[in-house]
Homo-oligomer: A and B are copies of this chain.
Amino acid sequence: MTSPGSVGVVETSTARIFDDGFTTRSGTTLPFVDVAYETYGTLNHGRSNAVYICHALTGDAHAAGFHEGDTRPGWWDNLIGPGKAIDTDQWFVVCSNVLGGCQGTTGPASVNPATGEPYGLDFPLLDMSDFVAVHRGLARHLGIERFAAVVGGSLGGMQVLQWSLDHPEDLSRAMIFAASSRLTAQNIAFSAVGRQAIMRDPDFHDGRFLSHGTVPGKGLSVARMLAHITYLSEEAFQEKFGRSAQGGELSPNFGIDFAVESYLEYQGERFLSRFDALSYLYLTRVMDYFDAFADPGSLDSLKADPVKFLLVSFTSDWRFSTEHTRRIVRHLEGARIPTSFREIESAWGHDSFLLELPDYHATVKAFLDRAAEEIA
């Protein structure tokens, strides 16, 4: 094993799956699905060392390493790599862009072969199980029948939970960070206001903005700024920015004066270059409607074929507080599913799951070490 390092230069591949059509839970059939994905490490001969990474709302398939010429690594590079908590000397790691996304996987901005135009709002509404079905399609394409672990934070963690409920036979271990089994009214409210900002932008054109050669950038950046407030704790905002001026001294006006305003504007603008407004609508709506344990029989498959769970929450996360994680734990323990739960001390809020916090990464590593013993 080398010392912690980088998986190096990587690139995103695309696989066309479901050539005979993919039918969503809502009953609409897409003629095929393209999935963007990356892999790190080497699949062993027994095909037993695969780990699947599910990304959060605005993530993508590029979890680790560097794209040619880039100076910033993938979004979870601090966790995934040689000698890191998800050790690519040991594990074969797969990460894909979700269905409905905008980073290479089929989504509302993709061209509908039936019309030659982007799907737009004709793209079907999605369900968490649709994400899982597409992940499974990619797994089959890669020749993997079972994962040693499936891992994700926030919306990624919700996918892990749904996968465990839908097809527990696919995974030995589920690792769910800063997630929820169902959103609260306040969670939905924040998403709803973000969507309203997008849909009320005159450049939204009822979702047909691509055909109009425009994007609802004002609304999308407002949605992103708003969401960002919920990703950090109040303490983190205060620590990072306090009441300091963006440059030198405060100079009262209606523009950007406080440092926190400059930060939010930067986040809003930067988002426009990498995210599609329709994907934002589709993916947030999957979260709103997600209610993992609503069906009384939801845990039946899992009871018959128990997956081992690790659930992690972060003390200052007010987007999906520890109470959200506790609810998942209660359901799992009520069904006698083996469940480890750790609340990690962190001042950084919801985004903590993306950060290199020693206790957190040690917890991940220890849980995966036990998986390694099982397949040894």
User: Which A residues fall within an 8 A CB radius of B?
Assistant: 26, 121, 125, 182-186, 188-190, 192-193, 195-197, 199-202, 218, 221-222, 225-226, 229, 232, 234, 237-238, 240-243, 250, 252-254, 258-261, 264-265, 268, 281, 285, 288-289, 291
For A289, list chain B residues within 8 Å (CB). Answer: 250, 252
**Residue A185 contacts which of B121, B222, B243, B253 (CB distance < 8 angstroms)?**
B243
Evaluate contact between A185 and B254: CB separation under 8 angstroms.
no
Evaluate contact between B188 and A261: CB separation under 8 angstroms.
yes
* Given A26-B252, A183-B243, A241-B185: A193 and B229 interface contact (C-beta under 8 Å): yes
**Residue A225 contacts which of B196, B281, B291 (CB distance < 8 angstroms)?**
B196
Evaluate contact between B125 and A253: CB separation under 8 angstroms.
yes
CA distance A253 to B288 in the complex (A): 11
For A222, list chain B residues within 8 Å (CB). Answer: 193, 196-197, 200, 222
Closest residue on chain B to residue A197 by CB atoms = B222
Evaluate contact between B218 and A200: CB separation under 8 angstroms.
yes
* Given A193-B229, A254-B281, A285-B252: A186 and B261 interface contact (C-beta under 8 Å): no
**Copies of this chain, count:** 2
Evaluate contact between B193 and A234: CB separation under 8 angstroms.
no
Q: How far is the CB of A199 from chain B (nearest CB, A)?
A: 7
Can you offer 17 A-B residue contacts whose CB atoms are under 8 A? A121-B254, A125-B252, A185-B240, A185-B258, A186-B229, A186-B232, A188-B243, A188-B261, A193-B222, A193-B225, A193-B264, A196-B265, A196-B268, A200-B218, A250-B289, A252-B289, A254-B285
Closest residue on chain B to residue A323 by CB atoms = B234
Evaluate contact between A193 and B226: CB separation under 8 angstroms.
yes
Q: How far is the CB of A346 from chain B (nearest CB, A)?
A: 17
Q: How far is the CB of A373 from chain B (nearest CB, A)?
A: 41
Q: Which 7 A-B pairs have the closest CB atoms?
A: A185-B237, A200-B218, A185-B241, A185-B260, A186-B234, A186-B237, A192-B261
Q: How far is the CB of A208 from chain B (nearest CB, A)?
A: 14
Closest residue on chain B to residue A195 by CB atoms = B254
A192-B260, A196-B264, A250-B289 known; 17 other A-B pairs, CB under 8 Å?
Answer: A125-B252, A184-B237, A185-B234, A185-B237, A185-B238, A185-B241, A185-B243, A186-B238, A192-B225, A192-B264, A193-B222, A193-B225, A193-B264, A195-B254, A196-B225, A199-B254, A252-B285
